[in-house]
Amino acid sequence: MNIGDRVRVIHGSESGIVTRVIDAQQVEIEIEDGFTIPVLVRDLALVATEEDKHFDPADRPTESTERKNTSNRANEKSSDAKKGIYIAFEPIGKTHVLLYFINNTSFELAYSIFTKNGEQCQRIHSGSLSAHSLVKMTDWALDNFENWPLLHIEALYSHNKAFTYRSPLRVSLKVKAAGYHKNRKEAPLLGKPCHLFQIDQQIPKHQVEAIKEKMLGEKAPSPVVEQGFVRPASTVDLHIEKLVENEQEIALLSNREMLSVQMDHFHKAFNGAIIAGMEEITFIHGNGTLKKNIQKELSQSHDIKFYKDAMKEKFGYGATLVKIK
C-alpha cells in the first residue's frame, strides 16, 4: 500500500487517501472531512477508480487490473499531450503532494534528482526512465511548503536508434507560491490535475542574458547616492529564489549562470554600500560556492576593515557581516 492510494475501511464506513506510511502494519489516511486517522493495513481495501459507478461488488477489478488500465490510458494520451520533461506535484488530500518525474519525449533518460542546500545534496530518486513514461518519486507535506528545498535534476538523453546529440539536462527548480498555484493543469501521461513544471524548455543564449538582466533590474530602486549607484539595504539576501520571482526562469539557468547572477548582485550591493558611506552590510548566501566566492573577494578588498560570520543563531554560517572603512 502506497501514499496516494484510495482505500476504504473494511469493517466501517470510512474511506479516504493514504497520506503517510507509519510502519509495515499501519498507515495514516485522510478521510472526507479532512481529518487523518491511523488504520491497520489489514483493515483496509484498495478502491479502484470509478469502481462503484461501473461494477457490482463481485465484479470489481483487482488492483493489478486497475493499474494496467491506468497505464494503458496514459500511453494512449501521450501522443496528444505536450512533449517535454516535467516535474509534477499531485495533491493528495489537503496535507501532502506526490512528486512525479515525467518523460513525455521519445528519448530514454538516465537521471538523478536530488535536493540541494548549499553544497550538501540529498538524493530523491535516480534511475532510467523509458520514453513516454513516468515515475513517482516521493511525497512532501504541504504544511512545510515554505521550506521545500531546491530541486536539482540531471539527465542524459539516449535512444535505441541513431539520434542527434543533446546536451545533458541540468536544471534547478525552486517552487514558490505564486508559480505553484498558477501552474495547475493536467499532467501528461498521468492524466490528473497537478501543479506542473516543464524543465526542458530550451531558450537561446541571448534570451538567458535578457533574463539575467531582468533579474538584476527588477527590484524597486533605492534612493540614488551617486549616478550609477544606489544605496542597498543593510541586509542583502543573495539566494537565487530571492532575486527572481519566476521559478521557471530559475529552471532555465545553469549553476554557473545562477552564480553569475548572484555575484552581480553582490558586487552591485557591495559597491553601493561603499559609495553610500555605510558602516556595514550583511550578505545572506548559504554555505556553498557563493559564500566561498564572496569571502575570497572580501579577503582581497582594501575597502573593508574586516568581515565575519553573522547572525549565527538564525543562519548558522550562511551569512557574512562586512565592516566598511
Which residues in the chain show pLDDT less than 70? 1, 32-35, 48-81, 118-119, 178, 202-230, 245-249, 252, 315
Domain ranges of the chain: 6-47, 81-198, 205-324
Amino acid 135 reads V
The class that CATH gives domain 6-47 is: mainly beta
CA distance 68 to 96: 25
Domains 6-47 and 81-198 share a fold: no
Specify whether domain 205-324 bears CATH 3.60.15.10: no
Distances (CA, A) of 143 to 140, 175, 215: 9, 14, 29
Q: What pLDDT score does 78 carry? A: 42
- Cell numbers at 248, concatenated: 521557471
Listed in sequence order, the residues at least 6 apart from 203 whose beta carbon sits closer than 8 Å to its beta carbon are 211, 252
CA distance 311 to 317: 8
| CATH T-level assignment (fold) for domain 81-198 | Immunoglobulin-like (2.60.40)
DSSP, collapsed to helix, strand or coil, labels residue 258 as: helix
Least Cα distance to 289 among 253, 321, 260, 249 occurs for: 260
270: enclosing H helix or E strand: helix 255-276
Helices (H), 34-84: 51-54, 63-78
Cell 501514499 sits on residue: 3
Is residue 41 classed exposed, middle or buried when 0-12, 13-18 and 19+ CB atoms within 10 A define those classes?
A: middle
Secondary structure of 116-144 as H, E, C letters: EECCEEEEEEEEEECCCEEEEEEEEEHHH
Sign of CA dihedral 201, 90, 119, 156: negative
CA distance 170 to 150: 13
Q: What pLDDT score does 69 carry? A: 43
Q: List, in sequence order, every residue forming a beta bridge with 7; answer none if it has no partner.
A: 16, 46
Q: Phi and psi for 195 in degrees, rounded to 5?
A: -95, 115
Q: List, in sequence order, every residue forming a beta bridge with 249; answer none if it has no partner.
A: none
CB atoms within 10 A of CB 117: 13
Cell 490528473 sits on residue: 192
Which pLDDT tens digit goes with each residue over 215-273? 555 444 444 434 445 688 999 999 888 887 666 667 767 788 888 889 989 998 998 88
